[in-house]
Amino acid sequence: MIECENLVKIYKTAEIEVIALQGLDLEIEKGELMAIIGNSGSGKSTLLNMLGGLDRPTAGRLVVDGKDLLKASPSDLIKYRRETVGFVWQNNARNLVPYLTALENVELPMLLNGKVSRSHSLELLEMVDMSHRKNSRLSQLSGGEQQRIAIAIALVNSPKILLADEPTGSVDTKTAAHLLDVLRDLNSTLSLTIIIVTHDRQLSKKVDRVVAIRDGRTSSEFVRKKSYVEELAEIAAGAAINREDDAQVELAVVDKSGRLQIPREYLDALGLKGKNKIKVELEEGRIVLLRPDNENETNAVS
C-alpha cells in the first residue's frame, strides 16, 4: 500500500534549513494496523503529512496505493486527499465544528461534496459506538467520545488509509484502550490500512508492528512474537498472559545501502561518545562492533 524509499524532507527559510527526514525507508502492507513512534522532532509527523498529501517530499520516492506523490500535480493531490486518505488529529478543534451536533459533523463533509446520506452518517456513528450521542454537541461529549466522532468523520469518504496523529494523546489510559479497540475493529471489518503516529510505546500492546523513527530515519521495528488476536484467543482459553518484554522483539532496520542506526547507549558503552568511526567484524555468524583501537575486546556489541 505504501512505499517510502530514501525519503528526504528539508524545510527552508531565509535564515535556516531543517532536515526533517534524511533517507527514510518504509513499506506498509494493505490492511495493516501499525504505529509509528519517535521522540519530538524525529520526523514522524512530517512523514504523516506527506502520506496524507498535505506536504511533498524534497527527494526520494513515495508511492501510496500506486500513486507517486512526488510527481503528483496539485489537482492530483486534492483528488488523493478526497478519495484515498482519512485524517484523525490529536486536537479535537481540528476534527469537529463545536456548534454542530455529532450527526451534523459527520454530514458536513458529505454536504461539501454535494451529497448527504443520513443513513450512511448513522451507520458511521454506529461503527464507532456513538449513534446514541448523535444529537450531542462538542461541549456535551468527553474527549474519547469526540475522538470517536472524529474517526467517523474520517471514514466519510470510504478511505483506503486512515492516518491518526496522536489520537490518544489527550485522553486517559482506559479511554485510549477503547479508542484503539475501535480502530482495530475498523481495521478488521473494513480491511482498512491504519497508521497511528504517537510517542506512546504502550501502543505496541495493541498493534502487531511498531516502527521507530530516530533523527529522520527508520531505526527499528518492534514486532510481536504472537499477533494481538492470537494472544486474545489464548487469554480467552485461560492461558497465562505473557510479560510485555516477552511479547515482542526489536529489530534494527537496515536500509538498501546497508546502513543501520546503532542505539546511542550501545555506542556510549564502547566509549565512542563524540566519535564517528567504529570497527566492524564478521565473527561466527555475528556482526561485531569494536572500538577502533581494539584496546579492550570486552567492549564489544554484537
Spell out the domain ranges in the chain.
2-84+159-260, 262-302
Mean pLDDT, residues 282-288 taken together: 83
Q: Which residue has the higher pLDDT, 289 or 213?
A: 213
Q: How many CA atoms lie within 13 A of 269 on its CB side?
A: 13
Mean pLDDT, residues 2-9 taken together: 91
pLDDT digits (tens, 9 = 90+) for 140-182: 998 889 999 999 999 999 999 999 998 887 778 888 888 888 9
pLDDT digits (tens, 9 = 90+) for 124-145: 999 999 999 999 998 899 888 9
158: Cα separation from own chain's centroid: 19
Q: Which residues of 5-34 are buried (b: 16+ CB within 10 A; e: fewer)?
A: ebbebeeeeeeeeeebbbbbbbebeeebbb
Mean pLDDT, residues 191-195 taken together: 94
- Quick check: helix, strand or coil at residue 21? strand
- Quick check: helix, strand or coil at residue 208? coil
What pLDDT does 198 receive? 84
What pLDDT does 302 receive? 56
Beta bridge partners of 3: 27, 63
Q: Choose the weakest-confidence range: 3-7, 143-147, 282-286.
A: 282-286
Number of C-beta neighbours around residue 245 at 10 A:
7
Contacts (Cβ under 8 Å, ≥6 apart) of 203: 35, 37, 168, 180, 196, 210
CA 88-160-233 angle, to 5 degrees, is: 85
pLDDT digits (tens, 9 = 90+) for 38-87: 877 788 888 999 999 999 999 999 999 999 999 999 999 999 998 999 99
By the 10 Å C-beta count (0-12 exposed, 13-18 middle, 19+ buried), 282 is classed as: exposed
- Quick check: helix, strand or coil at residue 238? coil
What pLDDT does 300 receive? 58
Q: Residue 162 belongs to what H/E stretch?
A: strand 161-165
3-class SS shares of the chain: helix, strand, coil, % to 5: 35, 30, 40
The sign of the torsion formed by the CA atoms of 55, 61, 63, 66 equals: positive
Q: How many CA atoms lie within 13 A of 2 on its CB side?
A: 26
Mean pLDDT, residues 281-301 taken together: 69
Tell me the one-letter amino acid at 160: K
Q: What is the CATH number of domain 2-84+159-260?
A: 3.40.50.300
CA distance 164 to 145: 15
Q: What is the mean pLDDT of the chain?
A: 82
What pLDDT does 163 receive? 95
Q: Which of the given ranges, 52-56, 234-238, 239-243, has the highest pLDDT on average?
A: 52-56
- Quick check: helix, strand or coil at residue 210? strand
